[in-house]
A and B are shown apart, each in its own frame.
Chain A
């Protein structure tokens, strides 16, 4: 393919982003699944605009890390987990994969919690909905008719666009919004730290870095094309972070302003009332259901692929269960465990949705350290190694999270 042929889809995407045409694909990555909606709604409802500065820095961190991952993918043609194995050996790899599995297990459980919440908003018990959906996801993905379902689910995720509209309809005090975005104001108590870490953990996850690098490596981007890919990645992140911010603002302007500390999906749905009135609940649950089902289908599968690939196990949906037992086994375990977690009696679904994201944040510094070692290696990256600013920002992010985690542990143990 010539340069122009490869640039065309990227150029079109950039046009979309700039013109805000067809927001579907872009906002699909904007965290409108259960963990995303729950975390951002929680942030807005608990702290008003007080967590916006955390979100802003988390977004910056996401840009820095994901650009680094994309650059590594383009420079080496290999995925992150593969590079980790080749450079750091088996033990580090095993530890990293275990962390990824744990974090993704938490997130998948959060997705199923989203599914359960939506079902309960429609009056279906979670003990009926979850086993059904888990089984459906397992069958659909492994039997291959997933792509058809994907289109329907993708369409349902458009509902996050309503947050954009709602945020403006709710008429928040924009000067206050701006001030609280730019001026940090940290409180060192357990609740605040949990909320802050969850916000970071939803915006940038270790898994997103691995997935980004693998996708770019797959596409075979050359040095000439990379600047355009970089623009694509950065713009996409800016848009999705903006949507996240608007979700926070919507929740702040509606829920926090009414003094509601959101604890259930039903309350979270009220954030959409300025836009949808009485239909807020239904709009919210249908969208949440779609987005969560989509993520619950893809995340365990992608995780299983990555783990099997780096450990050298047979993998692939085109293989039979006898040929690739570990692949099918791991995938099944992920789905079953996530579903079981959600079915624990009395488990607060909404809290699970956002608390699981704290795990993502806590595990992030490990990945950052490894990525920094790799991205600064001149033998590996050639002229594409990290610049000083990138290193600085990444280290800042890792240190901030580590400090927050430490503070959290201290205040929790007190």
Chain B
């Protein structure tokens, strides 16, 4: 037997003797770690003062709220309750299954008999029917739909897939934020962009540094700089270190010079050096979008030796994609390129010199972004090396960064600026 919060709020509450004890003003549920929270208490408003009644005293929620006793026990607040009317209803929450922000139109409660808890919060209604129910016209619309022989649209999200965002103290949202941190960084970034600024910042601050770094990269550039500014400087520097140097350089380029140099100082020396080098190139050139994380091997090895070398190479560990391995001489001049596929499939005794590709495509650091993208597309590459005039390897442009240049800039999602 399920009922909706909108059908409970504001309704009179009767005790076992048939006396009216007040009107239901709110419903408090427990914040369960998993699954569906149990109903802890209802808040009654009798005149002016609201007081809480233990959920154990409730016999029925529909069609009327009837208690099972004539002296309902008061409920002392324990501090881990979620107030449905004030903190969930009409607020934005995260639908972790659908990976988006939704607004709560109504809440679904169900009667269960297991484990002594009588009622549980089971779902969130985010659809139009929920909205119509709040306006009091759901029955008519349902009748109309039945006449037209159409199924009413279902839009109930199970509570286990949902992460509420509002509470008196952020600590109470630990479970919520844990659920959200498991989403893909691109989805977290979308959610943060759509939330109001204070909630978005609070959400970002609860994530681990690594996840913050991944998420930051996906947030729209203007917001990135602002969000980074809200982190404490040491953590901001950590985040920048976690990001690839190319993304860190892009972010730093948007900051004020004093802020930028302060963060660069706080970063670890090697990362800072890489980032500074990338910052010297204009943003829309190969140098501006390349990364300095790539794997190299020296000349003169066999395939087997090369694989050993890569396993022991910290450089290779830094290269997150590792599509290609670059063969360089002592002056870091590019001699050849091998795909990891070739390395894996070739005989271990084969010489790298035989297996590698000596004719390869390169770009210089000042080549415009669009040109680079075109070349990546033309030659079906996953990454293209960037070399200086003497053929020394400066960095690589990976296909995902090259694509960003071709995708047209998205329309602003928010209100138009004029007016």
Binding site for B on A (CB under 8 A): 1-2, 4-5, 28-29, 76-79, 82, 85-86, 89-91, 94, 144, 150, 154, 211, 214-215, 217-218, 220, 294-295, 298-299, 301-302, 305-306, 310-312, 316-318
Contacts and interface: CB of A to CB of B under 8 A. Distances in A.
Given A85-B90, A218-B414, A316-B411, 4 more contacts: A1-B259, A2-B229, A305-B415, A306-B415
B379 interface: no
B102 A312 contact: yes
Interface in B23-76: none
Contacts, number: 79
B225 A1 contact: yes
A48 to B, nearest CB: 31
A405 B169 CA distance: 45
B205 interface: no
Nearest to A312: B103
A19 to B, nearest CB: 23
Contacts of A211: 415, 419
B258 A317 contact: no
A1 B411 contact: no
Interface stretch (B109-117, B195-203, B280-288, B359-367): B195-203
Contacts of B105: 90, 312
A302 to B, nearest CB: 5
Contacts of B255: 1
Interface in B120-154: 126, 131, 134-136
A312 B419 contact: no
A225 B136 CA distance: 43
A156 B197 CA distance: 35
B165 to A, nearest CB: 12
Given A77-B197, A311-B131, A318 B419 contact: no
Contact of B226 (A94, A220, A295): A220
Contacts of B77: none
A150 B416 CA distance: 11
Interface in B403-419: 410-411, 413-416, 418-419
A28 B418 contact: yes
Interface in B242-258: 255-256, 258
B135 A91 contact: yes
Contact of A215 (B103, B256, B258, B415): B415
A89 B26 CA distance: 13
A330 B234 CA distance: 48
Interface string B77-115: 000000000000011000000000011010000000000
Contacts of B226: 1, 220
B256 A1 contact: yes
Given A77-B198, A312-B103, A316-B413, A90 B126 contact: no
Nearest to A306: B415
Contact of A76 (B103, B196, B259, B415): B196
A4 to B, nearest CB: 7
Interface residues of B, number: 29
A115 to B, nearest CB: 17
Contacts of A316: 411, 413
Contacts of B134: 89-91
A86 B91 contact: yes
B84 to A, nearest CB: 13
B90 A302 contact: no
27 contacts: A1-B255, A2-B229, A5-B256, A28-B418, A77-B196, A82-B196, A86-B91, A90-B131, A91-B136, A144-B411, A154-B418, A215-B415, A217-B196, A218-B414, A294-B418, A298-B418, A299-B419, A301-B416, A302-B415, A305-B415, A306-B415, A311-B131, A312-B126, A316-B411, A316-B413, A317-B411, A318-B411
Contact of A217 (B131, B197, B259): B197
A2 B259 contact: yes
Contacts of B135: 90-91, 94
B419 A77 contact: no
Given A90-B105, A218-B415, A302-B416, A1 B229 contact: yes
Contacts of B131: 90, 311-312
Interface in B374-419: 410-411, 413-416, 418-419
Nearest to A153: B418
Interface string B220-249: 000001100100000000000000000000
A144 B197 CA distance: 26
B410 A318 contact: yes
A237 to B, nearest CB: 14
Nearest to B198: A77
Contacts of A312: 102-103, 105, 126, 131
Contacts of B103: 85, 310-312
A312 B226 CA distance: 26
Given A85-B90, A211-B419, A218-B414, A4 B256 contact: yes
Contact of B413 (A85, A294, A311, A318): A318
Nearest to A219: B197
A138 to B, nearest CB: 15
Contacts of A220: 197, 226
Interface string B172-189: 000000000000000000
B183 to A, nearest CB: 19
